Structure 1
Amino acid sequence: MNATDRTPADLLASALAADPGRPLVTFYDDATGERVELSVATFANWVAKTANLLQGDLSAGPGDRVALLLPAHWQTAVWLLACSSVGVLADLGGDPAAADVVVSGPDALDAARACRGERVALALRPLGGRFPRTPEGFTDYAVEVPGQGDRFVPFTPVDPEEPALIVAGREFSGAEVAERALAEAPSLDLTGPGSRLLSGLSYDTWEGVSAGLYAPLATGGSVVLCRNLDRLDEDALAKRIESERVTAVRR
């Protein structure tokens, strides 16, 4: 984290400038066998495309609320950084009826229909695959995002002191997210570049989203983000820790 990093989007920009080729997010789904590894550059490209979709096609901007009805997943991490890039408030598990935009996984589509604004559906299929048939009333993220621009510039500069994240009912500004992630990194055994944290925590608490994204990003480390980690026995988990060169575990 540099002195000029005031938001999560700033943290990503610094990571991209420092070492674009290093791993940032490695995702496992132990219910499907999926493994995806995203370098800083690849992750940042997904973030830029998603931010362009959010700002351009969905007309979202500072002051708007985006309800994210998504599990701990690499695409959720992308959406969190895209929201930070645009300057909208990302509400993890928030009320769709109170949101300007809702972004939903396949298991929350019925709840997401309460949103009167734009609705985006994520199939959460391997390799970012699309729905076989787009859910009625939704935009399929996997269909729309590939054609978006690879560079993003916000229409309005993002104010680090404005609300940026709600998780477990608590609101944080962009500056608070960045500062708290860095301050709490030592308690997660993140010691700086090269640190690699395996997290099986969900994204419905600050601890989960910090361990699963923000703290590794703030310290120049990386995260091995595991969904359905309880499907692994201890021997399989030990093998993953070894093969992924994990330096810290939270589950």
Structure 2
Amino acid sequence: MNASDRTPADLLRSALAADPARPLVTFYDDATGERVELSVATFANWVAKTANLLQGELSASPGDRLALLLPAHWQTAVWLLACASVGVTAEVGGDPAAADYVVAGPDALEAGRACSGDRIALSLAPLGRRFAETPAGYADYAVEVPGQGDRFAPFVPVDPGAPTLVVDGMELTGVQLVERARTDAAQLGLGPGARLLTDRSYDTWAGVSAGLYAPLAAGGSVVLCRHLDQLGAEGLAKRVESERVTLTLTD
């Protein structure tokens, strides 16, 4: 990645310039059998569409706060980068009542209704399917995002010194996040082409770094697993081999 990268969005732009076709996020849900692989280009396209939804449809602007009530999931990774692209602070597991916006999965819909601003619901179903019936008080992400533009440009340049992420009570600016991600990548021995498999939750820095930021900063990729305990040791070994995993971090 480029030494001049100072925000998560910068890291993604550098990855896109370096090799848009390589895998970036491979997601498994072993409760449903789902597998989704997103190249850098495909992931960046989802980020652009989601950032356009935030900025254009929801009128989000730098300094706004978004409570992200989602598990470790490829769509959560998209939202984290979309928030960073707009300048919105993503608060993982944040208080909806104190947030300007809330993005919630099926298990957090009731809690998310405490937000007085716009609310977006994600079904987290395989293939990004929409809800059979849109939850009351929410817009369905799967309905709203497909029509958004494939390219994104912020109305206001993102300040690298402004808060970009709050996780487990820790607030990080763009610069701090990039520095921590690079440090984590170096400590883990991640480099270009590395494949990190993890099932760590996104509710701690260690989890969200392993599950997104450190591989992105290193020019590597992540195999993000949900409900990995249902796979078993033999199944995990086969996955490590088939996905060409170079490092495994599991809880």
Residues 83-162 of structure 1 aligned to structure 2 (within 5 Å): 83-162=83-162
TM-score by length of 1: 0.99
CA deviation map 1:157-193 (0-9, x unaligned): 0000000000001100011111110111122231x11
CA distance in 1, matches of 2:193, 2:40: 13
The corresponding residue for 1:244 is 243
CA distance in 1, matches of 2:218, 2:225: 20
Letter in 2 for 1:84: A
CA distance in 1, matches of 2:175, 2:146: 30
Residues 170-249 of structure 1 aligned to structure 2 (within 5 Å): 170-190=170-190, 192-249=191-248
The corresponding residue for 1:13 is 13
CA deviation map 1:26-77 (0-9, x unaligned): 0000111000000000000000000000011111111100000000000000
Instruction: For residue 194 of structure 1, give the secondary structure of its aligned residue in structure 2.
Output: coil
By how many angstroms is 1:231 displaced?
1.0
By how many angstroms is 1:3 displaced?
2.0
The corresponding residue for 1:46 is 46
CA deviation map 1:181-222 (0-9, x unaligned): 0111122231x1110000110000000000000000001000
Instruction: For residue 147 of structure 1, give the secondary structure of its aligned residue in structure 2.
Output: coil
- Does 2:28 correspond to 1:28? yes
CA distance in 2, matches of 1:103, 1:180: 25
Q: Contact 1:86 / 1:154 at 8 angstroms: preserved in 2?
A: yes
Letter in 2 for 1:217: L
By how many angstroms is 1:232 displaced?
1.5
Instruction: For residue 59 of structure 2, give the secondary structure of its aligned residue in structure 1.
Output: coil
CA distance in 2, matches of 1:112, 1:209: 21
By how many angstroms is 1:4 displaced?
1.9
CA distance in 1, matches of 2:18, 2:43: 14
The corresponding residue for 2:61 is 61
- Does 2:163 correspond to 1:163? yes
CA deviation map 1:74-100 (0-9, x unaligned): 000000000000001000000000000
By how many angstroms is 1:22 displaced?
0.2
TM-score by length of 2: 0.99
Over the matched positions of the two proteins, sequence identity in percent amounts to 75
Instruction: For residue 107 of structure 1, give the secondary structure of its aligned residue in structure 2.
Output: helix
Structure 1: give runs of 5+ residues left out of the alignment: none
CA distance in 2, matches of 1:243, 1:83: 33
Show structure 1 runs of 4+ deviating over 4 A: none
CA distance in 2, matches of 1:29, 1:233: 13
CA distance in 1, matches of 2:69, 2:47: 18
The corresponding residue for 1:4 is 4
CA deviation map 1:119-147 (0-9, x unaligned): 00000011111000100110100001000
The corresponding residue for 1:82 is 82
Q: Contact 1:28 / 1:227 at 8 angstroms: preserved in 2?
A: yes
Q: What's the Cα RMSD here?
A: 0.6
